[in-house]
Structure 1
Protein backbone atom coordinates (compact mmCIF):
# COMPACT_ATOMS: atom_id res chain seq x y z
CA UNK A 1 0.00 0.00 0.00
CA UNK A 2 1.35 3.43 -0.91
CA UNK A 3 1.89 5.97 1.87
CA UNK A 4 -0.72 8.30 0.32
CA UNK A 5 -3.42 5.60 0.49
CA UNK A 6 -5.68 5.30 3.49
CA UNK A 7 -5.52 2.16 5.59
CA UNK A 8 -8.93 0.57 6.09
CA UNK A 9 -10.55 1.06 9.48
CA UNK A 10 -13.40 -0.65 11.32
CA UNK A 11 -14.92 2.67 12.38
CA UNK A 12 -14.12 5.99 14.00
CA UNK A 13 -10.80 6.24 15.82
CA UNK A 14 -10.71 8.29 19.02
CA UNK A 15 -8.67 11.47 19.17
CA UNK A 16 -6.75 10.14 22.22
CA UNK A 17 -4.19 8.30 20.05
CA UNK A 18 -1.48 6.62 22.12
CA UNK A 19 0.36 4.89 19.26
CA UNK A 20 0.04 4.94 15.47
CA UNK A 21 2.54 3.57 12.99
CA UNK A 22 3.20 1.28 10.09
CA UNK A 23 5.21 -1.87 10.70
CA UNK A 24 6.85 -4.92 9.20
CA UNK A 25 8.15 -8.11 10.79
CA UNK A 26 11.27 -6.37 12.09
CA UNK A 27 9.17 -4.01 14.22
CA UNK A 28 6.89 -6.52 15.97
CA UNK A 29 8.96 -6.98 19.14
CA UNK A 30 9.43 -3.25 19.67
CA UNK A 31 5.74 -2.63 18.94
CA UNK A 32 4.70 -5.26 21.48
CA UNK A 33 6.67 -3.35 24.13
CA UNK A 34 5.20 -0.02 22.98
CA UNK A 35 1.66 -1.44 23.12
CA UNK A 36 2.30 -2.74 26.65
CA UNK A 37 3.56 0.67 27.75
CA UNK A 38 0.65 2.58 26.16
CA UNK A 39 -2.01 0.17 27.41
CA UNK A 40 -0.52 0.19 30.90
CA UNK A 41 -0.48 3.99 30.97
CA UNK A 42 -4.13 3.97 29.87
CA UNK A 43 -5.11 1.80 32.82
CA UNK A 44 -4.75 -1.85 31.85
CA UNK A 45 -2.88 -3.85 34.48
CA UNK A 46 -2.04 -7.40 35.49
CA UNK A 47 -3.63 -10.22 33.51
CA UNK A 48 -5.81 -7.81 31.53
CA UNK A 49 -2.71 -5.99 30.30
CA UNK A 50 -0.91 -9.25 29.53
CA UNK A 51 -3.92 -10.62 27.64
CA UNK A 52 -4.29 -7.42 25.61
CA UNK A 53 -0.62 -7.45 24.62
CA UNK A 54 -0.78 -11.13 23.58
CA UNK A 55 -3.91 -10.42 21.50
CA UNK A 56 -2.29 -7.46 19.75
CA UNK A 57 0.89 -9.45 19.13
CA UNK A 58 -1.21 -12.12 17.38
CA UNK A 59 -2.80 -9.46 15.19
CA UNK A 60 0.57 -7.90 14.32
CA UNK A 61 1.99 -11.30 13.43
CA UNK A 62 -1.04 -12.19 11.30
CA UNK A 63 -0.78 -8.92 9.38
CA UNK A 64 2.83 -9.69 8.46
CA UNK A 65 2.34 -13.41 7.73
CA UNK A 66 -0.95 -13.28 5.89
CA UNK A 67 -1.51 -9.65 4.97
CA UNK A 68 1.26 -8.67 2.62
CA UNK A 69 4.22 -8.23 4.96
CA UNK A 70 3.36 -4.82 6.39
CA UNK A 71 0.59 -3.31 8.43
CA UNK A 72 -0.66 -0.34 10.37
CA UNK A 73 -1.36 -0.32 14.11
CA UNK A 74 -3.17 2.28 16.19
CA UNK A 75 -3.81 2.23 19.94
CA UNK A 76 -6.03 4.70 21.74
CA UNK A 77 -8.04 5.26 24.89
CA UNK A 78 -11.78 5.69 24.51
CA UNK A 79 -14.17 6.16 27.45
CA UNK A 80 -12.41 3.70 29.75
CA UNK A 81 -11.41 1.23 27.05
CA UNK A 82 -8.01 0.62 25.53
CA UNK A 83 -8.52 -0.02 21.83
CA UNK A 84 -6.16 -1.39 19.20
CA UNK A 85 -6.73 -1.63 15.47
CA UNK A 86 -4.38 -3.55 13.17
CA UNK A 87 -4.76 -3.27 9.39
CA UNK A 88 -3.00 -4.96 6.50
CA UNK A 89 -3.20 -4.71 2.72
CA UNK A 90 -3.44 -8.42 1.92
CA UNK A 91 -6.12 -10.16 -0.11
CA UNK A 92 -8.47 -10.63 2.84
CA UNK A 93 -9.52 -13.71 4.77
CA UNK A 94 -10.17 -16.71 2.54
CA UNK A 95 -13.06 -18.13 4.59
CA UNK A 96 -15.81 -16.66 6.71
CA UNK A 97 -15.21 -16.93 10.45
CA UNK A 98 -17.87 -18.88 12.31
CA UNK A 99 -20.06 -17.04 14.80
CA UNK A 100 -19.49 -17.59 17.61
CA UNK A 101 -15.79 -18.19 17.10
CA UNK A 102 -14.76 -21.82 17.35
CA UNK A 103 -11.52 -22.91 19.00
CA UNK A 104 -9.20 -24.54 16.45
CA UNK A 105 -8.47 -28.25 16.98
CA UNK A 106 -5.55 -28.80 19.36
CA UNK A 107 -3.48 -30.54 16.67
CA UNK A 108 -3.80 -27.61 14.23
CA UNK A 109 -0.43 -25.83 13.87
CA UNK A 110 -1.97 -22.53 12.72
CA UNK A 111 -5.24 -20.68 12.82
CA UNK A 112 -5.04 -19.68 16.47
CA UNK A 113 -4.29 -15.93 16.13
CA UNK A 114 -7.75 -14.46 15.54
CA UNK A 115 -9.41 -16.91 17.91
CA UNK A 116 -6.92 -16.07 20.66
CA UNK A 117 -7.25 -12.32 20.08
CA UNK A 118 -11.02 -12.60 20.43
CA UNK A 119 -10.78 -14.74 23.57
CA UNK A 120 -8.36 -12.40 25.32
CA UNK A 121 -10.18 -9.10 24.75
CA UNK A 122 -13.59 -7.63 25.57
CA UNK A 123 -14.55 -6.68 22.02
CA UNK A 124 -13.45 -8.02 18.66
CA UNK A 125 -14.39 -6.74 15.20
CA UNK A 126 -13.03 -7.77 11.81
CA UNK A 127 -13.53 -6.26 8.37
CA UNK A 128 -11.97 -8.06 5.44
CA UNK A 129 -11.97 -7.79 1.67
CA UNK A 130 -9.81 -7.65 -1.43
CA UNK A 131 -7.97 -4.58 -0.12
CA UNK A 132 -6.96 -6.05 3.23
CA UNK A 133 -8.14 -6.93 6.68
CA UNK A 134 -8.65 -4.72 9.72
CA UNK A 135 -9.15 -6.10 13.21
CA UNK A 136 -10.17 -3.96 16.17
CA UNK A 137 -9.97 -5.22 19.76
CA UNK A 138 -10.56 -3.50 23.07
CA UNK A 139 -10.28 -4.17 26.76
CA UNK A 140 -11.88 -2.26 29.61
CA UNK A 141 -9.40 -0.35 31.73
CA UNK A 142 -9.18 -1.12 35.42
CA UNK A 143 -9.21 2.66 36.00
CA UNK A 144 -12.69 3.05 34.54
CA UNK A 145 -15.93 2.45 36.42
CA UNK A 146 -17.86 -0.75 35.53
Structure 2
Protein backbone atom coordinates (compact mmCIF):
# COMPACT_ATOMS: atom_id res chain seq x y z
CA UNK A 1 0.00 0.00 0.00
CA UNK A 2 2.85 2.37 0.78
CA UNK A 3 4.34 1.64 -2.65
CA UNK A 4 1.06 2.57 -4.36
CA UNK A 5 0.46 5.67 -2.23
CA UNK A 6 3.98 6.93 -2.94
CA UNK A 7 3.22 6.60 -6.64
CA UNK A 8 -0.04 8.50 -6.27
CA UNK A 9 1.69 11.36 -4.49
CA UNK A 10 4.13 11.58 -7.39
CA UNK A 11 1.34 11.52 -9.96
CA UNK A 12 2.44 8.17 -11.38
CA UNK A 13 -0.20 5.93 -13.03
CA UNK A 14 -0.63 2.67 -11.12
CA UNK A 15 -2.25 -0.66 -11.94
CA UNK A 16 -3.00 -3.15 -9.16
CA UNK A 17 -3.87 -6.69 -10.29
CA UNK A 18 -4.50 -9.02 -7.33
CA UNK A 19 -7.12 -11.73 -6.75
CA UNK A 20 -10.21 -11.37 -4.61
CA UNK A 21 -10.69 -10.85 -1.72
CA UNK A 22 -7.41 -8.93 -1.68
CA UNK A 23 -8.57 -6.62 -4.45
CA UNK A 24 -11.58 -5.50 -2.41
CA UNK A 25 -9.38 -5.02 0.66
CA UNK A 26 -6.99 -2.93 -1.45
CA UNK A 27 -9.85 -0.73 -2.68
CA UNK A 28 -11.17 -0.28 0.86
CA UNK A 29 -7.72 0.70 2.13
CA UNK A 30 -7.29 3.23 -0.67
CA UNK A 31 -10.60 4.85 0.15
CA UNK A 32 -11.25 7.91 -1.99
CA UNK A 33 -7.94 7.33 -3.80
CA UNK A 34 -9.26 4.08 -5.30
CA UNK A 35 -10.54 5.99 -8.33
CA UNK A 36 -6.95 7.07 -9.10
CA UNK A 37 -5.71 3.47 -9.38
CA UNK A 38 -6.55 0.92 -12.07
CA UNK A 39 -7.81 -2.07 -10.09
CA UNK A 40 -8.02 -5.47 -11.83
CA UNK A 41 -9.15 -8.83 -10.48
CA UNK A 42 -6.19 -11.09 -11.20
CA UNK A 43 -8.31 -14.21 -10.71
CA UNK A 44 -10.11 -13.17 -13.91
CA UNK A 45 -7.26 -11.55 -15.87
CA UNK A 46 -4.74 -14.21 -14.87
CA UNK A 47 -7.02 -17.24 -15.00
CA UNK A 48 -4.94 -18.01 -18.08
CA UNK A 49 -1.51 -16.60 -17.08
CA UNK A 50 -0.55 -16.00 -20.73
CA UNK A 51 -3.04 -13.10 -20.81
CA UNK A 52 -1.23 -11.12 -18.10
CA UNK A 53 1.76 -9.83 -20.08
CA UNK A 54 -0.47 -8.33 -22.81
CA UNK A 55 -2.30 -6.39 -20.06
CA UNK A 56 0.97 -5.01 -18.67
CA UNK A 57 2.12 -4.14 -22.18
CA UNK A 58 -1.14 -2.28 -22.83
CA UNK A 59 -0.72 -0.36 -19.55
CA UNK A 60 2.87 0.61 -20.40
CA UNK A 61 2.04 1.55 -23.98
CA UNK A 62 -0.92 3.69 -22.90
CA UNK A 63 0.66 5.56 -20.00
CA UNK A 64 4.42 5.34 -20.52
CA UNK A 65 4.84 6.31 -24.15
CA UNK A 66 6.85 9.40 -23.21
CA UNK A 67 8.88 7.82 -20.44
CA UNK A 68 6.52 8.65 -17.57
CA UNK A 69 7.24 6.47 -14.50
CA UNK A 70 4.59 3.83 -13.86
CA UNK A 71 3.89 1.54 -10.91
CA UNK A 72 2.24 -1.83 -10.78
CA UNK A 73 1.36 -4.59 -8.34
CA UNK A 74 0.76 -8.03 -9.80
CA UNK A 75 -0.04 -11.25 -7.91
CA UNK A 76 -0.45 -14.14 -10.37
CA UNK A 77 0.43 -16.94 -7.91
CA UNK A 78 -1.81 -17.87 -5.01
CA UNK A 79 -2.70 -20.95 -2.98
CA UNK A 80 -5.19 -23.25 -4.71
CA UNK A 81 -3.90 -23.05 -8.27
CA UNK A 82 -3.38 -26.43 -9.90
CA UNK A 83 0.05 -27.77 -10.93
CA UNK A 84 -0.34 -26.82 -14.61
CA UNK A 85 -1.44 -23.29 -13.68
CA UNK A 86 1.47 -22.93 -11.25
CA UNK A 87 3.91 -24.03 -13.95
CA UNK A 88 2.57 -21.40 -16.35
CA UNK A 89 2.62 -18.72 -13.65
CA UNK A 90 6.28 -19.51 -12.98
CA UNK A 91 7.03 -19.17 -16.70
CA UNK A 92 5.04 -15.93 -16.82
CA UNK A 93 7.04 -14.42 -13.97
CA UNK A 94 10.30 -15.28 -15.71
CA UNK A 95 9.03 -13.92 -19.03
CA UNK A 96 8.15 -10.55 -17.51
CA UNK A 97 11.88 -9.83 -17.37
CA UNK A 98 11.98 -10.28 -21.15
CA UNK A 99 8.63 -8.70 -22.03
CA UNK A 100 9.36 -5.43 -20.20
CA UNK A 101 12.85 -4.16 -20.99
CA UNK A 102 14.94 -2.48 -18.26
CA UNK A 103 14.71 0.93 -19.95
CA UNK A 104 10.90 0.96 -19.83
CA UNK A 105 9.43 2.99 -16.97
CA UNK A 106 7.43 0.26 -15.20
CA UNK A 107 8.28 -0.41 -11.54
CA UNK A 108 6.48 -3.63 -10.69
CA UNK A 109 6.06 -5.44 -7.39
CA UNK A 110 4.83 -9.02 -7.18
CA UNK A 111 3.48 -10.07 -3.75
CA UNK A 112 3.80 -13.70 -2.64
CA UNK A 113 1.86 -14.99 0.37
CA UNK A 114 4.56 -16.86 2.28
CA UNK A 115 1.98 -18.11 4.80
CA UNK A 116 0.19 -20.20 2.14
CA UNK A 117 2.60 -20.95 -0.72
CA UNK A 118 5.00 -23.90 -0.62
CA UNK A 119 8.75 -23.65 -0.88
CA UNK A 120 8.78 -24.55 -4.58
CA UNK A 121 6.71 -21.45 -5.39
CA UNK A 122 8.88 -19.24 -3.19
CA UNK A 123 12.09 -20.65 -4.66
CA UNK A 124 10.70 -19.91 -8.12
CA UNK A 125 10.01 -16.32 -7.05
CA UNK A 126 13.59 -15.87 -5.91
CA UNK A 127 14.82 -17.14 -9.29
CA UNK A 128 12.50 -14.95 -11.38
CA UNK A 129 12.79 -11.64 -9.49
CA UNK A 130 16.02 -9.62 -9.33
CA UNK A 131 15.10 -7.92 -6.04
CA UNK A 132 13.28 -9.22 -2.96
CA UNK A 133 11.57 -7.49 -0.06
CA UNK A 134 11.33 -9.74 2.97
CA UNK A 135 10.40 -8.52 6.45
CA UNK A 136 10.44 -4.97 5.09
CA UNK A 137 14.02 -5.20 3.86
CA UNK A 138 14.96 -4.97 0.17
CA UNK A 139 17.90 -6.86 -1.23
CA UNK A 140 19.08 -8.42 -4.45
CA UNK A 141 18.11 -12.03 -5.06
CA UNK A 142 21.13 -14.32 -5.03
CA UNK A 143 19.08 -16.92 -6.92
CA UNK A 144 17.98 -14.64 -9.76
CA UNK A 145 18.45 -16.45 -13.08
CA UNK A 146 17.13 -13.89 -15.59
CA UNK A 147 17.01 -15.00 -19.23
CA UNK A 148 18.60 -18.34 -18.35
CA UNK A 149 15.48 -19.22 -16.36
CA UNK A 150 13.31 -18.40 -19.38
CA UNK A 151 15.39 -20.74 -21.53
CA UNK A 152 15.26 -23.47 -18.90
CA UNK A 153 11.49 -23.33 -18.40
CA UNK A 154 10.57 -22.88 -22.07
CA UNK A 155 12.74 -25.84 -23.08
CA UNK A 156 11.40 -28.02 -20.28
CA UNK A 157 9.09 -31.02 -20.56
CA UNK A 158 5.42 -31.26 -19.69
CA UNK A 159 4.08 -34.18 -17.62
CA UNK A 160 3.15 -37.20 -19.70
CA UNK A 161 -0.57 -37.73 -20.34
CA UNK A 162 -2.44 -40.44 -18.45
CA UNK A 163 -2.24 -43.98 -19.74
CA UNK A 164 -5.78 -43.64 -21.09
CA UNK A 165 -5.55 -41.07 -23.87
CA UNK A 166 -6.12 -40.91 -27.59
CA UNK A 167 -3.51 -40.26 -30.25
CA UNK A 168 -3.49 -39.61 -33.96
CA UNK A 169 -1.04 -38.22 -36.48
CA UNK A 170 -2.01 -35.52 -38.94
CA UNK A 171 -0.67 -34.22 -42.24
CA UNK A 172 -1.83 -31.93 -45.01
CA UNK A 173 -5.29 -32.82 -46.20
CA UNK A 174 -6.28 -34.31 -42.83
CA UNK A 175 -7.14 -31.20 -40.82
CA UNK A 176 -10.87 -31.59 -41.38
CA UNK A 177 -10.61 -35.05 -39.82
CA UNK A 178 -8.73 -33.52 -36.87
CA UNK A 179 -11.50 -30.98 -36.28
CA UNK A 180 -14.11 -33.72 -36.43
CA UNK A 181 -12.18 -35.89 -33.95
CA UNK A 182 -11.75 -33.05 -31.44
CA UNK A 183 -15.42 -32.08 -31.78
CA UNK A 184 -16.53 -35.67 -31.11
CA UNK A 185 -14.16 -35.90 -28.14
CA UNK A 186 -15.51 -32.64 -26.65
CA UNK A 187 -19.16 -33.61 -27.13
CA UNK A 188 -18.62 -37.02 -25.57
CA UNK A 189 -17.03 -35.40 -22.52
CA UNK A 190 -20.08 -33.17 -22.07
CA UNK A 191 -18.49 -29.87 -23.03
CA UNK A 192 -21.09 -27.27 -23.95
CA UNK A 193 -21.44 -26.36 -27.64
CA UNK A 194 -19.77 -22.95 -27.30
CA UNK A 195 -16.76 -24.22 -25.39
CA UNK A 196 -16.50 -27.24 -27.70
CA UNK A 197 -16.32 -24.87 -30.67
CA UNK A 198 -13.58 -22.88 -28.87
CA UNK A 199 -11.53 -26.03 -28.34
CA UNK A 200 -11.98 -27.17 -31.95
CA UNK A 201 -10.94 -23.77 -33.28
CA UNK A 202 -7.89 -23.61 -31.00
CA UNK A 203 -6.67 -27.04 -32.09
CA UNK A 204 -7.40 -26.20 -35.74
CA UNK A 205 -5.20 -23.10 -35.46
CA UNK A 206 -2.38 -25.04 -33.82
CA UNK A 207 -2.40 -27.97 -36.26
CA UNK A 208 -2.56 -25.60 -39.23
CA UNK A 209 0.37 -23.61 -37.84
CA UNK A 210 2.34 -26.79 -37.32
CA UNK A 211 2.06 -27.76 -40.97
CA UNK A 212 2.40 -24.20 -42.28
CA UNK A 213 5.77 -23.76 -40.61
CA UNK A 214 7.41 -26.77 -42.11
CA UNK A 215 6.43 -29.88 -40.20
CA UNK A 216 5.38 -32.62 -42.69
CA UNK A 217 3.35 -34.34 -39.98
CA UNK A 218 2.38 -33.77 -36.39
CA UNK A 219 0.89 -35.69 -33.49
CA UNK A 220 -2.36 -34.85 -31.73
CA UNK A 221 -3.08 -36.36 -28.34
CA UNK A 222 -6.14 -35.69 -26.19
CA UNK A 223 -7.47 -36.82 -22.84
CA UNK A 224 -9.53 -35.71 -19.88
CA UNK A 225 -8.53 -34.98 -16.31
CA UNK A 226 -10.76 -34.45 -13.32
CA UNK A 227 -11.33 -30.81 -14.32
CA UNK A 228 -10.20 -30.30 -17.92
CA UNK A 229 -10.24 -31.55 -21.45
CA UNK A 230 -6.69 -31.47 -22.78
CA UNK A 231 -5.49 -31.45 -26.39
CA UNK A 232 -1.82 -31.49 -27.30
CA UNK A 233 -0.19 -30.73 -30.65
CA UNK A 234 3.37 -31.93 -31.09
CA UNK A 235 5.84 -31.71 -33.98
CA UNK A 236 9.57 -31.69 -34.70
CA UNK A 237 9.84 -27.93 -35.28
CA UNK A 238 11.26 -25.38 -32.89
CA UNK A 239 9.90 -22.04 -31.67
CA UNK A 240 12.61 -19.49 -30.93
CA UNK A 241 10.39 -16.87 -29.27
CA UNK A 242 9.39 -17.82 -25.71
CA UNK A 243 6.83 -14.97 -25.74
CA UNK A 244 4.88 -16.66 -28.53
CA UNK A 245 1.16 -16.18 -27.97
CA UNK A 246 1.74 -13.44 -25.36
CA UNK A 247 2.08 -10.59 -27.84
CA UNK A 248 -0.84 -9.50 -29.97
CA UNK A 249 0.41 -10.30 -33.48
CA UNK A 250 0.31 -7.42 -35.93
CA UNK A 251 -0.51 -7.78 -39.63
CA UNK A 252 3.20 -7.84 -40.48
CA UNK A 253 3.99 -10.72 -38.11
CA UNK A 254 4.41 -14.17 -39.65
CA UNK A 255 3.66 -16.73 -36.97
CA UNK A 256 2.42 -16.76 -33.40
CA UNK A 257 -1.17 -16.02 -34.39
CA UNK A 258 -2.36 -19.56 -33.71
CA UNK A 259 -1.01 -19.63 -30.16
CA UNK A 260 -2.41 -16.14 -29.51
CA UNK A 261 -5.87 -17.30 -30.65
CA UNK A 262 -5.61 -20.44 -28.50
CA UNK A 263 -4.82 -18.25 -25.48
CA UNK A 264 -7.98 -16.22 -26.07
CA UNK A 265 -10.14 -19.33 -26.41
CA UNK A 266 -8.78 -21.74 -23.80
CA UNK A 267 -8.42 -21.71 -20.03
CA UNK A 268 -4.74 -22.60 -20.17
CA UNK A 269 -2.13 -22.95 -22.92
CA UNK A 270 1.29 -24.51 -22.34
CA UNK A 271 4.08 -24.13 -24.89
CA UNK A 272 7.44 -25.89 -24.65
CA UNK A 273 10.05 -25.93 -27.40
CA UNK A 274 13.65 -27.10 -27.74
CA UNK A 275 15.83 -29.13 -30.09
CA UNK A 276 13.58 -32.09 -29.21
CA UNK A 277 10.61 -30.39 -30.91
CA UNK A 278 7.61 -28.31 -29.91
CA UNK A 279 4.53 -29.17 -27.89
CA UNK A 280 1.51 -26.92 -27.38
CA UNK A 281 -1.06 -28.14 -24.88
CA UNK A 282 -4.47 -26.49 -24.43
CA UNK A 283 -6.83 -27.05 -21.51
CA UNK A 284 -10.54 -26.27 -21.27
CA UNK A 285 -12.61 -26.78 -18.12
CA UNK A 286 -15.64 -29.01 -18.45
CA UNK A 287 -18.69 -30.12 -16.46
CA UNK A 288 -19.37 -33.57 -15.05
CA UNK A 289 -22.15 -34.57 -17.48
CA UNK A 290 -21.32 -37.34 -19.94
CA UNK A 291 -23.49 -37.59 -23.04
CA UNK A 292 -23.85 -40.35 -25.62
CA UNK A 293 -21.02 -42.26 -27.28
CA UNK A 294 -18.71 -40.36 -29.61
CA UNK A 295 -19.31 -40.47 -33.34
CA UNK A 296 -16.62 -41.06 -35.91
CA UNK A 297 -13.13 -42.40 -35.53
CA UNK A 298 -10.77 -40.75 -33.06
CA UNK A 299 -7.73 -42.38 -34.64
Please give the range of the TM-score, normalised by the shorter of the 2 chains: 0.7 to 0.9
Structure 1 residue matching 2:261: 3-state secondary structure:
helix
Greater relative CO (CA pairs within 8 A, separation 6+): 1
Please say which structure displays the higher CA radius of gyration. 2
Cα offset for 1:9? 6.1
Q: Judging changes above 3 Å, is the alpha-carbon distance between structure 1 residues 135 and 67 closer, same or farther for their aligned structure 2 residues?
A: farther
Cα offset for 1:110? 4.1
**Residue 10, structure 1, aligned to residue 158, structure 2:** yes
Equivalent residue in structure 1 for 2:242, among 96, 121, 124: 96
Q: What is the distance in 2 between the residues matched to 1:41 and 1:51?
A: 15
Cα offset for 1:27? 1.2
**Residue 128, structure 1, aligned to residue 273, structure 2:** yes
Q: Which string of whole-angstrom CA distances, capped at 9 and with x for unpartnered residues, describes residues 75-117 of structure 1?
A: 1111131000110012x1132216x812212x34643101001
Q: Which string of whole-angstrom CA distances, capped at 9 and with x for unpartnered residues, describes residues 98-139 of structure 1?
A: 6x812212x346431010011110111011012311001110
RMSD (CA atoms): 2.1
Q: What is the distance in 1 between the residues matched to 2:187 and 2:242?
A: 33
Q: Which runs of 5+ in 1 are unaligned?
A: 1-7
Aligned 1:21-60 pairs, distance under 5 A: 21-60=168-207
Match of 2:264 in 1: 119
Q: What is the distance in 1 between the residues matched to 2:252 and 2:287?
A: 34
Q: How many residues are treated as equivalent by the alignment?
A: 133
When normalised by structure 2's length, the TM-score is 0.42
Please state which structure has a larger fraction of its residues in helix.
2
Contact 1:9 1:87 in 2 (8 A): no
Q: What is the distance in 2 between the residues matched to 1:84 and 1:37?
A: 13
Structure 2 residue matching 1:76: 3-state secondary structure:
strand
Please state which structure has a larger fraction of its residues in strand.
1
**Residue 87, structure 1, aligned to residue 234, structure 2:** yes
